[in-house]
């Protein structure tokens, strides 16, 4: 990228063009570009440009003759009209491969300057919007100089100079006039639509959509951009103008609702009741438990004003609700008969982190549930900690089709102010990093002592003093957040987009009419569309979440992409041949496997296929995760495996000093390597958990087995890894 950029700089400077250039975050489309430029305030008056590359229909054996269209982003580009006016027809947007082959660029970086990369310019058609060449001297055109994270501002005159320098004929057209004169495709097809649906062709109006629709980054090549594109192009999430905050669109929110439904029912069964505490906390209450608040203080958001008035004292927005709730526990719990007290709330919390935010994984506001309970006996609290952890595991395994490791956090990693922390640890193979998926804390009596939550021991001897009879209650707290969704996307998503496990998909089955051509008659349409609607009704009745895509202005191929990006688990195609055989063609999103399902057994067939998908997704993810946990016995194997995107299971001494040392040694190690791979970041390894399921083969022999890191006596096997 950067060498491509310097090539552009060089070739422009030869023409005495030295454009102002600014850097910004990489942008995937012009909306993002616009936002990025607004952010940095370039200090010039500019208009965004767009560069469209199309491929006119040619014989299969012939070399492609791409059409390059240069225009202002704000100008309507009626592709049919434009291509027609230079004698081309049936233009489609060029594939990424063609872009690469012809211009050595991808869609986000292609620009007018890419023409300099073309080996044989005679094969290329160039059409330029007259508006682009007629800006007045105070206005600049914004271009990407061969890189989507940079913008150069050049004048109309300079652009013309550059184009002229190519020695290639180009055509200047007034795109606005062209577009205005062109027939409106919708108006044309409107009368037809009433009787027979318009033929499914990729109309000019939608060609641009197709091009913008696909995921342009490969998961194993550029995970961050892939992740961003999958989230936004699947309509799962949108970026928001307050940094670190994101919009959860229906596709994402529905997953959260499914998790809520399952988990809320399960804890209700356990006697937990839902409640809602205020989001605001006074400073006095927030600071009551020192260890606890120390962990959160740097990230607390403070409200200091209402309207134009300063508040008498700043009020915090909850980062978590221990100190919000426990003064009321002290009030409500007056006797051992009030125990156990078990409440939960579904809410959002705010942690104003200054690290790089990432949708779902690290956000400043996020949705979660937080359960808070109080018990008379430690044993009861301990049991509940595990029950909740098992439910968290179920959320991952049964709903999100993701494996987790259940275990206990080390002393260093446990919740501030608590007694011990249990966790479900997820794993993202693409980065080789673990991710804390949900935590269930035994808080012990620390908070109950701080907040004076006491009852009289019903079993204390008669002679005991009042003080001796007092029992500080045993408390737990446990939380699961929308982070779950991010892990799911990271693990299951592929180069085509999202892949949703059927149990959390808001659309499980999409039905698409196929096999209709320009030659098809009205009856053919009626038959196929009717069959689609009938099937949808049948499946809905059987409890499936199901949609039909009968849009008449898109081809089946377009629709396939559309629903693949959105992760719909099962696509059902219905065409004339299918109907003849009284069947449908079912295509699995997770594997792409096609199969026929008989129409007279369709409910069972769909149910079985969805169950299989759900099951297979988990099995695949688990196999990959299992293969990524390496058991080692000596330190030499630690860093190489870590850098190989593995998690490490090893005998450990359970000492914080040793853990600090491991982190240190595993982050330093990279410095000595010649090349640092950005996808194997140099961050040190953390302890993830002491798995409840300890190896039974070659188990720890007390006094004999040594810690793989420091050589002292090992206490148990511990899981280590890089972590989100």
Yes or no: say if 407 and 425 are a contact pair by the CB < 8 Å rule: yes
Q: What are residue 560's phi and psi, to 5 degrees? A: -55, -50
Of 585, 637, 591, the residue nearest 613 (C-alpha) = 591
Q: How far is the CB of 76 from a second copy (least distance, A)?
A: 7
Shortest distance, position 528 Cβ to a second copy, whole Å = 20
| CA separation for the pair 544, 496 (Å, rounded) | 24
Q: How far is it, in rounded angstroms, from Cα 321 to Cα 372? A: 9
> In this complex, which beta carbon is closest to a second copy, that of residue 174 or of residue 527?
174
- Identify which of residues 328 and 635 has a Cβ nearer to a second copy in the complex: 328
CB of 588 to a second copy, least distance (A): 25
Shortest spacing between CB 147 and a second copy, in angstroms: 24
- Phi, psi angles (nearest 5°) of residue 429: -60, -35
* Of 218, 452, 245, 444, residue with least CA distance to 352: 245
Residue 154 or 316 with smaller CB distance to a second copy: 316
Q: Give the span between the Cα atoms of 25 and 279, in whole angstroms.
A: 33
Residue 452: phi, psi to the nearest 5?
55, 55
**What gap in Å lies between CA 546 and CA 228, rounded to an integer?**
26
CB of 159 to a second copy, least distance (A): 25
Q: Round to the nearest angstrom and report the end-to-end CA distance of the chain.
A: 28
Distance CA 453, CA 545 (A): 47
Measured from the CB atom, is 31 or 631 closer to a second copy?
31
Residue 249 CB, shortest distance to a second copy, in Å, is: 6
Strand locations in 448-542 (E): 454-456, 470-472, 474-481, 509-513
Q: Which residues are CB-contacts of 689 (< 8 A; sequence separation ≥ 6)? A: 405, 406, 407, 408, 409, 410, 422, 423, 425, 718, 719
Whose Cβ is closer to a second copy: residue 251's or residue 401's? Answer: 251
Neighbours of 34 (CB within 10 A): 14
Report in angstroms how near the CB of residue 274 gets to a second copy at its nearest. 5
Question: Least Å distance between CB 37 and a second copy?
Answer: 15
Q: Which DSSP category does 591 fall into?
A: T
- Residue 22 or 347: the one with the smaller Cβ distance to a second copy is 347
User: Is the CB of residue 371 less than 8 Å from the CB of residue 342?
Assistant: yes
Single out the residue of 479, 265, 465 nearest to residue 372, CA to CA. 479
Q: Please, which residue, 314 or 681, has the CB nearer to a second copy?
A: 314
Nearer to a second copy, 278 or 592 (CB): 278
- Residue 695, both tokens: 């190896």
> In this complex, which beta carbon is closest to a second copy, that of residue 1 or of residue 247?
247
Residue found by looking up tokens 């007034």 in the block = 174
Chain position carrying tokens 């693949």: 564
Residues near 535 by Cβ (< 8 Å), separated by ≥ 6? 511, 548, 572, 574, 584, 599, 602
Q: How far is the CB of 84 from a second copy (least distance, A)?
A: 16
Smallest separation (angstroms) from a second copy to the CB of 153: 23
Q: Which is nearer to a second copy, 59 or 306 (CB)?
A: 306
CB of 21 to a second copy, least distance (A): 24
Nearest approach, Cβ of 227 to a second copy (angstroms)? 19
For a second copy, the closer of residues 352 and 724 by Cβ is 352
Backbone phi, psi, residue 379, to 5°: -60, -40
302/692 with CB nearer a second copy: 302
Could you tell me if 51 and 170 are in contact, meaning their C-beta atoms sit under 8 angstroms apart?
A: no
Distance (Å, whole) CA 174 – CA 176: 6
């Amino acid at each position: 990228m950067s060498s491509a950029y310097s090539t552009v700089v060089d070739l422009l400077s030869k023409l005495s063009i030295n454009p102002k250039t600014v850097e910004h975050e990489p942008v995937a489309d012009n909306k993002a570009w616009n936002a990025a430029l607004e952010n940095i305030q370039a200090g010039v008056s500019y208009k965004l440009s767009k560069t469209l590359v199309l491929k006119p229909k040619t014989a299969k054996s012939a070399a492609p003759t791409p059409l390059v269209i240069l225009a202002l982003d704000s100008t309507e580009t009626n592709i049919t009209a434009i291509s027609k006016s230079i004698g081309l027809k049936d233009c489609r947007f060029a594939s990424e491969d063609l872009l690469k082959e012809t211009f050595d660029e991808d869609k986000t970086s292609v620009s007018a300057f890419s023409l300099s990369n073309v080996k044989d310019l005679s094969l290329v058609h160039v059409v330029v919007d007259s508006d682009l060449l007629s800006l007045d001297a105070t206005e600049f055109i914004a271009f990407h100089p061969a890189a989507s994270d940079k913008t150069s501002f050049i004048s109309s005159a300079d652009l013309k100079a550059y184009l002229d320098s190519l020695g290639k004929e180009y055509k200047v057209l007034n795109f606005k006039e062209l577009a205005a004169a062109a027939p409106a495709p919708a108006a044309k097809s409107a009368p037809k639509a009433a009787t027979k649906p318009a033929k499914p062709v990729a109309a000019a109006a939608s060609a641009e959509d197709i091009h913008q629709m696909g995921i342009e980054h490969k998961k194993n090549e550029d995970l961050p951009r892939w992740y961003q594109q999958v989230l936004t192009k699947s309509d799962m999430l949108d970026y928001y103008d307050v940094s670190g905050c994101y919009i959860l669109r229906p596709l994402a929110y529905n997953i959260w609702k499914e998790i809520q439904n399952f988990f809320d029912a399960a804890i209700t069964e356990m006697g937990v009741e839902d409640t809602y505490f205020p989001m605001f906390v006074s400073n006095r209450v927030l600071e009551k438990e020192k260890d606890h608040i120390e962990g959160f203080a740097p990230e607390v958001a403070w409200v200091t004003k209402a309207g134009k008035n300063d508040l008498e004292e700043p009020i915090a927005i909850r980062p978590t609700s221990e100190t919000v709730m426990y003064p009321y526990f002290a009030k409500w719990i007056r006797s051992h008969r009030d125990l156990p007290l078990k409440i939960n709330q579904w809410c959002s919390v705010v942690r104003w982190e200054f690290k790089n935010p990432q949708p779902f994984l690290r956000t400043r506001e996020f949705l979660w549930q937080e359960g808070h309970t109080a018990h008379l006996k430690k044993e009861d609290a301990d049991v509940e900690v595990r029950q909740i952890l098992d439910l968290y595991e179920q959320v991952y395994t049964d709903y999100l089709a993701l494996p987790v490791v259940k275990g206990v956090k080390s002393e260093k990693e446990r919740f501030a102010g608590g007694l011990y922390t249990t966790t479900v640890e997820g794993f993202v193979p693409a980065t080789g990093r673990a991710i804390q998926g949900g935590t269930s804390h035994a808080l012990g009596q620390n908070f109950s002592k701080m907040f004076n939550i006491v009852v009289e021991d019903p079993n204390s001897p008669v002679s005991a003093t009042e003080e001796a009879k007092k029992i500080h209650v045993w408390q737990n707290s446990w939380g699961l957040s929308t982070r779950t969704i991010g892990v799911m996307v990271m693990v299951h998503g592929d180069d085509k987009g999202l892949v949703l496990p059927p149990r959390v998909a808001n659309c499980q089955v999409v039905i698409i009419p196929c096999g209709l051509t320009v030659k098809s008659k009205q009856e053919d349409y009626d038959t196929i569309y009717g069959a689609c609607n009938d099937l949808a009704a049948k499946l809905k009745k059987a409890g499936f979440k199901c949609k039909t895509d009968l849009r008449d202005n898109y081809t089946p191929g377009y629709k396939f992409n559309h629903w693949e990006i959105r992760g719909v688990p099962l696509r059902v195609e219905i065409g004339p041949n299918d109907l003849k055989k009284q069947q449908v063609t079912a295509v699995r999103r997770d594997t792409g496997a096609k199969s026929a399902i008989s129409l007279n057994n369709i409910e069972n067939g769909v149910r079985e296929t969805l169950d299989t998908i759900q099951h297979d997704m988990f099995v695949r993810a688990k196999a990959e995760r299992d293969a990524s946990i390496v058991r080692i016995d000596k330190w030499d194997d630690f860093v190489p495996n870590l850098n190989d995107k593995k998690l490490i299971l090893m005998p450990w001494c359970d000492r914080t000093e040793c853990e600090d040392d491991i982190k240190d040694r595993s982050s330093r190690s990279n410095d000595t390597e010649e090349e640092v791979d950005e996808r194997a970041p140099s961050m040190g390894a953390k302890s993830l958990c002491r798995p409840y399921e300890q190896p039974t083969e070659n188990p720890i022999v007390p006094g004999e087995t040594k810690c793989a890191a420091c050589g002292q006596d090992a206490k148990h096997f511990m899981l280590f890894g890089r972590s989100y």
